[in-house]
Structure 1
Amino acid sequence: MFAAEGIRILRTPPQAPRANAICERMVGTLRRELLDHVLIVNERHLRRTVTVYQVHFNAARPHRSLGQLAPALAETQPPEPIDLAGSRIRRKLILDGLISEYQPAA
């Protein structure tokens, strides 16, 4: 079935639990943060939802291993601290409010 769709199957080596660790971590993150909260109705809906989440994950979601930076910002300097008492914050809803991103208002 997979070969008919042009999907190449990669086998993990036997008795090597870390060989697939990055993929397993991402699948777990997708399930916990996205798929456990959204009812997927078809393949098109799944692709659109995962694409929106992927953009959020790489551009806005903080990662502990990167010093609370998003992967897209990992190569740059950390942003300047913002005085939250003196500025307004704008909330951007992602995936119909499942996820929120916060930015200083202009």
Structure 2
Amino acid sequence: MLRVVKSDPNLKHQSCDLQDIRKTAKGFLVLQLSRASAAALYEAVGKALGDRAVVKTLKEFSQIEIRDLDELASKKEILEAIRVQLKDSSLPI
């Protein structure tokens, strides 16, 4: 599969966005991409491989535990406090 992905002419110009290529213990191929290029490369790899493989996107998730929450706090206030603490308003919460 890696040979097909690397040799596809439509993927040649996007190869600079690849950060890492590795194989999992179960034999799956993992392509680590920059966030900006993930959607475009996802479609291109899917077209290149066709029915030979399934292409999935993996996302990183974090779990946040909130303690001693004021019962009068609104959902909007809680989300804003989380964004302030994370110092990144672009994160999907």
Q: Same fold (TM over 0.5)?
A: no
Going by fraction, where is helix more abundant, 1 or 2? 2
Q: Normalising by structure 2, report the TM-score.
A: 0.23
Higher relative contact order (CA 8 A, sep 6+): 2
Q: Normalising by structure 1, report the TM-score.
A: 0.22
